[in-house]
Amino acid sequence: MRPSLEDVARRVDWYTDPGVVLANTHRFLSQVMARGLTQDVITVLQHYSREDFRNAYLNAPPGLFSKRAWAYWGLMLLNDCNRPLPERFPGANRFDWRKPSQK
């Protein structure tokens, strides 16, 4: 039995109504890439194009992807596994709380 888009939406975003999840295409596709099973990706590819996946990847919200998933999809969609992850707080990763501040 093949899962429907609603089944996939429930699996990748279990705390939100599937209709709401499916209404935001970029976020839904990003969630499928970050959290989906292989069968989920196969199901979604029957309804959305590779270009839709590429656009979702390029506009992914920060904090959703693991480094591994981000590198994989960067390689698959853009042939670039070294693209930097979207940051929640740009520049914050350069801050080291263990070092005293220089004033």
pTM over the 0.85 mark: no
Question: What integer best gives the mean pLDDT of the chain?
Answer: 90
Per-residue pLDDT for 103 more than 90? Answer: no
Reading the block at residue 69, the tokens are 């998933």
Which residue, among 29, 51, 50, 49, has the nearest Cα to 40 in the 3D structure?
29
Reading the block at residue 57, the tokens are 């990847």
- Structural Rg of the chain based on CA atoms: 16
Q: What pLDDT is recorded for position 1? A: 54
Contacts of 36 (CB under 8 A, 6+ apart): 8, 11, 12, 44
**27-37 confidence digits (pLDDT tens):** 999 999 999 99
Per-residue pLDDT for 92 more than 80? Answer: no
Per-residue pLDDT for 96 more than 80? Answer: no
Produce one character per residue of 35-60: b if its CB has 16 or more CB atoms within 10 Å, e if not. Answer: bbeeebbebbeeebeeebbebbbeeb
Find the mean pLDDT for residues 3-19: 93
Q: What pLDDT is recorded for position 89? A: 76
Cα 70 to its chain centre, rounded Å, is 7
Per-residue pLDDT for 90 more than 90? Answer: no
Domain ranges of the chain: 5-79
